[in-house]
């Protein structure tokens, strides 16, 4: 069996999506060891345009999976529906202390990972506001600097705030080294719910109306923003998370304007006839609402519209 013999910490990145490619490029820039495991290795050739005058070739790739140690970090920057198939072959290759970092839009990834991995496996959840978008089959563009929040799934033990590299666990140290700033969150679930609210509005509306992110901040979407935020707050409260709908809407408008020229991942998925993450975003809210007997008619309508749109384009 192949083993990872490197003494220095290494990021093992599953897939070759936009965020995974961005992490690999960031590791290369900071001389941190990384390996990418793209789905189609023979045709794999990937570059990241970090800036107007910096283009990074991602050359550290592998198709054979090694046995990982506690000095490795397995990064899973995939969509929720991709996690099971991608993570399953890694399960027997992990040391009991190898951290597994899930990084995706929406909810439900942790539950899938728990089904596949031993109960002792450390699972981390991360969310990022760094912008990355695929330009073509071989190029990803770094579209905007952001931040990252990370925490242990189901174990709120860490102090929130900036990273003290001498005290933080390995995945926190490495991610803060390659793509700062990283915040180690005491309650990562709350951060993920906040990100869910942003995605709940921006992703489906940009896909349905074929517009860039900035359009969602316009007055014509105000009523939808209001209603979606109120549906979200009601459902989140029953799950133990408390949000103010006005503050949430302000956050959503801020993100839409900050990432104005970008097209959301769901817009891109619909445009390129790929499966969307609607079930893990608005669909997740609908499922939680159904369990609690809550009416979330607008979220349910958006789920139906995105799925219908995908069928028409497909």
Q: How far apart are CA 130 and CA 178, in angstroms?
A: 12
How far is residue 171's CA from residue 49's CA, in Å, rounded to a whole number? Answer: 25
Helix runs in 210-281, H state only: 222-238, 245-258, 265-271
Active-site residue, 79 included? no
102 CB-side CA count, 13 A: 30
Residue of 195, 258, 292, 307 marked active site:
195
Q: What's the distance, CA 39 to chain centroid?
A: 18
3-state secondary structure of 107: coil
Nearest to 220 by CA among 246, 256, 193: 256
Structural tokens at position 307: 């799925």
Nearest to 274 by CA among 14, 13, 18: 18
Which positions are catalytic? 195
């Amino acid at each position: 069996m192949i083993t990872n013999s490197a003494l220095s910490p290494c990021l093992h990145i599953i897939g070759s999506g936009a965020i995974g490619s961005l992490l690999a490029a960031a590791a290369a820039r900071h001389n941190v060891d990384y390996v990418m495991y793209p789905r189609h290795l023979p045709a794999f050739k990937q570059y990241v345009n970090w800036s107007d005058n910096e283009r990074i070739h991602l050359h550290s790739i592998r198709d054979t999976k090694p046995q990982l140690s506690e000095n490795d970090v397995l990064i899973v920057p995939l969509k929720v529906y991709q996690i099971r198939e991608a993570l399953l072959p890694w399960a027997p290759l992990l040391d009991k202390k190898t951290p597994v970092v899930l990084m995706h839009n929406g909810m439900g990834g942790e539950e899938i990972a728990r089904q596949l991995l031993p109960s002792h496996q450390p699972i981390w959840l991360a969310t990022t506001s760094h912008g990355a978008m695929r330009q073509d089959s071989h190029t990803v563009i770094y579209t905007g600097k952001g931040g990252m929040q990370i925490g242990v799934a189901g174990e709120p033990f860490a102090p929130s705030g900036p990273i003290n590299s001498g005290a933080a666990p390995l995945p926190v140290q490495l991610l803060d080294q390659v793509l700062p700033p990283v915040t180690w969150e005491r309650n990562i679930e709350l951060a993920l719910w906040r990100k869910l609210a942003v995605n709940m509005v921006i992703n489906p509306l940009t896909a349905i109306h074929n517009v860039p992110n900035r359009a969602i901040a316009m007055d014509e979407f105000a009523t939808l923003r209001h209603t979606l935020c109120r549906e979200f707050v009601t459902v989140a409260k029953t799950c133990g998370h408390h949000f103010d709908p006005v503050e949430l809407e302000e956050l959503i408008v801020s993100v839409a304007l900050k990432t104005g020229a970008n097209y959301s991942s769901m817009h891109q998925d619909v445009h390129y006839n790929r499966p969307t993450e609607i079930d893990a975003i608005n669909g997740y809210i609908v499922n939680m609402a159904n369990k609690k007997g809550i009416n979330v008619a607008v979220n349910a309508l958006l789920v139906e519209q995105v799925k219908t749109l995908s069928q028409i384009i497909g």
